[in-house]
Amino acid sequence: MPIVLVLGGLVLLAAGGEAVVRGAVQMAQQLGLSKLLIGLVIVAFGTSAPELAVTFQSVRGGEPEIAVGNVIGSNISNLLLVLALPALIKPISSYDKSIIRDASVMLIVSAVFVWLAHLGEISRWGGVGFVTFLGVYLTFSYRAERKRGEAAGTLKPGLDLAGAAKPARELDFTQLSSAAIWLVAGIAALVFGANFLVDGATQIAVLLGVPEAVIGLTVVALGTSLPELATVVMAGRRGEAELAVGGIVGSNIFNILAVMGLTAVFYPIAIDPTFLVMDVWVMMAASLLVIPFLASKWRISRAEGAVLLTFYISFIIYRYVTVSPTPVG
């Protein structure tokens, strides 16, 4: 049964990643928006759904350390693993200059999260602030994309956010509906596939006698990043680098502003001091490390991917050694 879960999870992840990329590309074409923005908003929000579910349930159940660890670990793995693995196969090149703006926002919100974490709690007001900033950021990004589209001649000038105007060409609502169906179906397949794979891999690890600390730091921690990984791999294979990078950067932004923010609005989140020793700083360092890689002609080469992956493996090994004194075997 565990093997069936693992195989089924892999199939769903592959199919879901393909569906999300196809739907996102179609939607970007129909709405006249960049693939970067579609990845930043729609793909990122959809692939962050597992983090939101885990975080909300953990805080509600009185286990805030799981919620906070999930978000921090997911952001680290997104930057150091999810961007690294596809780059080792095929260098990721994104020519959209807006990625520097969005990566800078990721760095800023990460810094604010670290500051609030040192205060010991993400309060309701902190959550409201996160959600409000997310709304402002998305509105600004949308308006910036519309202006860029108007300047490029792909959109009529004077379009407002209310949707009174429309792209220079008529919208094909059949194609738009098809894109939405691909996106929804793909995101659902990603979520279920990640759950199946994590459940099956966890059962196999337990049967093999792997320590629980190792399982928690690897299988479970990586589980919520599997949707992003599947999407990035499929986007890279289809040459949609802007979609891939936008999905990762957007996912990290959503993990803090939406996942932490929305949860804190209902349940203030206490921060375990152990996260302040190393984990939050690794998250910040990963954010800082990725920006110059993206700025170097907006390309993550195989060598840079190897550097990111090396940092990630080193982090996992160190956390295992410090968390679990029990030797493997």
List pLDDT tens digits, range 37-69.
777 777 777 777 777 777 777 777 777 777 788
The beta strand positions in 228-294, using DSSP E, are: 269-270
| Average of per-residue pLDDT across 94-113 | 82
Single pTM value for the model: 0.76
pLDDT for residue 325 is more than 50: no
Q: How many CA atoms lie within 13 A of 128 on its CB side?
A: 3
Domain ranges of the chain: 2-158+172-323
pLDDT for residue 115 is more than 90: yes
pLDDT for residue 114 is more than 90: yes
Confidence of residue 156 (pLDDT cuts 50, 70, 90): very low
Under CATH, to which class is 2-158+172-323 assigned? mainly alpha
Q: Check if the beta carbon of residue 187 is closer than 8 Å to that of residue 13.
A: no
Confidence of residue 152 (pLDDT cuts 50, 70, 90): low
- pLDDT given for residue 129 in this prediction: 94
Confidence of residue 88 (pLDDT cuts 50, 70, 90): confident
- pLDDT given for residue 326 in this prediction: 42
Q: Which residues pair with 270 in a beta bridge?
A: 121
How far is C-alpha 48 from the chain's CA centre?
A: 6
- pLDDT given for residue 17 in this prediction: 75
- pLDDT given for residue 327 in this prediction: 40
| Average of per-residue pLDDT across 22-44 | 75
| Average of per-residue pLDDT across 94-106 | 76
Tokens of 249: 């950067």
What is the identity of the amino acid at 125? W
Confidence of residue 257 (pLDDT cuts 50, 70, 90): very high
- pLDDT given for residue 148 in this prediction: 66
Residue with the larger pLDDT of the pair 322 and 23? 23
pLDDT for residue 118 is more than 60: yes
pLDDT for residue 34 is more than 60: yes
Q: Check if the beta carbon of residue 171 is closer than 8 Å to that of residue 33.
A: no
Residue 292 has a CB neighbour count (10 Å cut-off) of 10
